[in-house]
Chain A
Amino acid sequence: MRPGGRSRLRRYRQAWVRHAILLAWTFFIVFPLYWMLSTSFKDAGEWVSWPPHWYPHEFTIHNYRQIFTFSALGEELSRDATEQAFSIWKALGDSLLICSVASFLALVLGVFLAYAISRFAVGGSKFRHIILTIRMVPPIVIAIPILMYYAIMIPFTTELLFGARITLFDTYFGLGALYVATTLPFVIWMMLSFIDEVPFTLEHAARMMGAGRMYTLRRVVLPLVASGLVVTYLFVFILNWSEFLLALTLTHPEVTTLPVLLNKFQSASEGRLYGPQAAIGTVITIPVVVLGVLIQKHLIKGFSFGMIRR
């Protein structure tokens, strides 16, 4: 055999091995998602049957009907747990409200901060990197101290000072404010990479024609980073949408986000209701997957901007 032929054979074999590994890995990643989707359409008897049912033998949308009822969360206590209604409307509403508003506020604040850092080097030349280190702190580190503030110190202090107990624990504001704070570094980092790309002579030109800072920002800079604004908003929204630890620690029972609701089905009081749980999991995942696919290309662009700076 010619040497060229042998090397071609080797390449062919390498490609095979590579694809086999990637396929196995893909299967490993996708299988739980498939199992969740499949379980969400299974009847109660099929959830934990042995041997496992690889697909729903008796296809049902009962789980979805259960989670989309309009009864309040955990209101009807039935002896048969599967008949119990676990409405996700409240949690869905809470999640949507907190995530969309907090992401929007973080975006607005972050854009101004990023602009200031990009154009005036606010905080010094290393500040942009320092900001990102805030995210290195694991949420668990701040969860308990924040809980102390929200549940004890702030109510106690306000009562002492104003005679009224103001608590941030289990409020939209309390959780939302924390989401703004924790996602702000991401917004700044991502928007910096976009704003840095806008040539400052454009702003000089606008100023020469009499435009003020805000006018220039609104008419020149922001329109040029519009796609960056959308990507950043979606990215931060997804982060908040799937946040669990802070929501679990800082809310109950008034405010409930979807990840927290999802966890309830695994507890001793409610039992192991794999069907509704899988249905909620599917409902939560779909927007994230859709958004993720939509912004994938921009995400890579947004992050790599920072890496290959001039």
Chain B
Amino acid sequence: MAEIVLRDLVKHFGSAVAVAGVHLQIEDGEFLIMVGPSGCGKTTTLNMISGLETPTSGEIFIGDQVVNDLEPGERGLGMVFQDLALFPHMTVFENIAFGLRVKKTEEAEVERRVRAAADAMHIGALLDKRPSECSGGEAQRVALARTIVNDPSVFLMDEPLSSLDAKLRLDMRTELKHLHHRLRATFVYVTHDQAEAMTMADRIVVMEGGRIEQVGAPLEIYRRPASRFVAGFFGVPTMNFLEGEVAAGAGDGLEFRSTRVVQPLSASTPAAVAGSAATLGVRAEHVRLAPSDDGAGRVTLTEPLGDETLVFFEFGGSAPLVAKVDPDSPLGPGDPVAFDFDRDWCHLFDPESGARLN
């Protein structure tokens, strides 16, 4: 069993609080991705699981054993580092064999397992080379093979794709997902790239300021962000935000009022929100645009992406809004537009705490 439980995990560096009470259960065989901006505590959390950092307080369970006092090498984990950390003075073979030799494995067994791991990662031809002679993608595979060969039940990965170019990164994402399916091991993966998290994870942990903001499946996080921070962190382009207040509408429903915007809200909006200040969040794909001479908006910029086009428009509010439209849309800079939002996809957040209101 490779279930990991973090209980009230806290880490201080001097007076700075890196991780401020993390509570998390990682299921056996799960691909869990911790995501957040720099300094949110995700890498520190990973390092505490690995044993490279000692928690200030709290407990870490692997299986049903508390591992706080175990050395990194005794926890049965494998780790891939951001800079890959291949040993430059050793050949690829020696790199992969390192962990086995530490455990004084018989040399014939070392040979057999290194070759098996290398074949699994398609780097059998590189075994006599030095890491410096490998390309970025090859080095990545060597680092994975070096981890796989030790047969860990949990793989920890600290932004392993960040050193690759964009194309290779996409390929490696697919490959990592395949690897996870094949090995059925637990993957704990840290990244600051929300797209990486969305594409690979079974579950995403969003962190900010040393705390967990939200835990959930990728689509759940995208569709129902628990806070304004999560809403703004996921999705490209960034979600539109409007400051205003919630009030009783014309019918029996509620509506959101802001400068030049009155947006009816869905019937499921809790009545308790009425009368309070709120931040309305709406994604670009839920903004509906129509050319209209007496519309409130005016297009400032368009960005064709091929399969869709982003339209930025002013409407007299504090910041321009962005909408996703059909690529064949005739809209161009200067065109007047009318706009409204899909009421089922309007997110309301507390302007102070950022917590979700609806």
Proximity bits, A200-217, B CB within 8 Å = 1, else 0: 011011111111100100
Flag whether B52 is at the interface (Cβ < 8 A). Answer: yes
A299–B53 CA distance with the chains assembled, in angstroms: 36
Flag whether B77 is at the interface (Cβ < 8 A). Answer: yes
Contacting residue for A209 out of B82, B86, B88, B98, CB 8 A: B98
Flag whether B293 is at the interface (Cβ < 8 A). Answer: no
A208–B78 CA distance with the chains assembled, in angstroms: 7
Flag whether B89 is at the interface (Cβ < 8 A). Answer: yes
Nearest chain A CB to B189's CB is how many angstroms away?
15
Determine if B89 and A204 form an interchain contact, defined as CB atoms under 8 angstroms apart: no
Chain A CB within 10 A, most for which of B52, B78, B86? B52
A223–B99 CA distance with the chains assembled, in angstroms: 17
Determine if A209 and B73 form an interchain contact, defined as CB atoms under 8 angstroms apart: yes
Contacts of B89 in A (CB 8 A): 223-224
A220–B85 CA distance with the chains assembled, in angstroms: 11
Determine if A210 and B81 form an interchain contact, defined as CB atoms under 8 angstroms apart: no
Contacts of B77 in A (CB 8 A): 208
Determine if B79 and A208 form an interchain contact, defined as CB atoms under 8 angstroms apart: yes
Flag whether B340 is at the interface (Cβ < 8 A). Answer: no
Determine if B102 and A211 form an interchain contact, defined as CB atoms under 8 angstroms apart: yes
Flag whether B71 is at the interface (Cβ < 8 A). Answer: yes
Flag whether A5 is at the interface (Cβ < 8 A). Answer: no
Chain A residues engaging chain B, CB cutoff 8 angstroms: 199, 201-202, 204-212, 215, 219-220, 223-224
Proximity bits, B10-54, A CB within 8 Å = 1, else 0: 000000000000000000000000000000000000000011100
Determine if B85 and A210 form an interchain contact, defined as CB atoms under 8 angstroms apart: no
Contacting residue for B52 out of A199, A207, A209, A220, CB 8 A: A207
Contacts of A201 in B (CB 8 A): 81-83, 85
Contacts of B99 in A (CB 8 A): 209-210
Determine if A207 and B81 form an interchain contact, defined as CB atoms under 8 angstroms apart: no
A interface secondary structure, majority: helix
Q: Please, how many residues of chain B have a CB less than 8 angstroms from a CB on the other chain?
A: 24
Contacts of A219 in B (CB 8 A): 98
Of all A-B residue pairs in the complex, the 9 with the closest CB atoms, nearest first, are A210-B73, A209-B99, A205-B85, A201-B85, A208-B79, A210-B102, A207-B72, A211-B102, A201-B81
Determine if B71 and A207 form an interchain contact, defined as CB atoms under 8 angstroms apart: yes
A3–B66 CA distance with the chains assembled, in angstroms: 82
Nearest chain B CB to A14's CB is how many angstroms away?
43
Proximity bits, B71-105, A CB within 8 Å = 1, else 0: 11110011101110111110000000011001100
A215–B79 CA distance with the chains assembled, in angstroms: 19
Contacts of B52 in A (CB 8 A): 204, 207-208
Contacts of B150 in A (CB 8 A): 209
Proximity bits, B259-291, A CB within 8 Å = 1, else 0: 000000000000000000000000000000000
A205-B88 in contact given A210-B74, A210-B103, A211-B73 (Cβ < 8 Å): no
Q: Closest residue of chain A to B52, judged by CB?
A: A204
A219–B101 CA distance with the chains assembled, in angstroms: 11
A207–B150 CA distance with the chains assembled, in angstroms: 13
Contacts of B103 in A (CB 8 A): 210
A201–B79 CA distance with the chains assembled, in angstroms: 11
Contacting residue for B87 out of A202, A207, A208, A210, CB 8 A: A202
A/B interface sample: 14 pairs, CB < 8 A = A204-B50, A204-B52, A206-B98, A207-B52, A208-B50, A208-B73, A208-B78, A209-B73, A209-B98, A209-B146, A210-B73, A211-B102, A212-B73, A220-B87
A208–B103 CA distance with the chains assembled, in angstroms: 12
A299–B83 CA distance with the chains assembled, in angstroms: 29
A95–B347 CA distance with the chains assembled, in angstroms: 82
Contacts of A220 in B (CB 8 A): 87
Nearest chain B CB to A145's CB is how many angstroms away?
41
A209–B88 CA distance with the chains assembled, in angstroms: 17
Contacts of A211 in B (CB 8 A): 73, 98, 102
Contacts of A204 in B (CB 8 A): 50, 52, 72, 79, 81, 85
Contacts of B82 in A (CB 8 A): 201
Chain B CB within 10 A, most for which of A199, A209, A220? A209
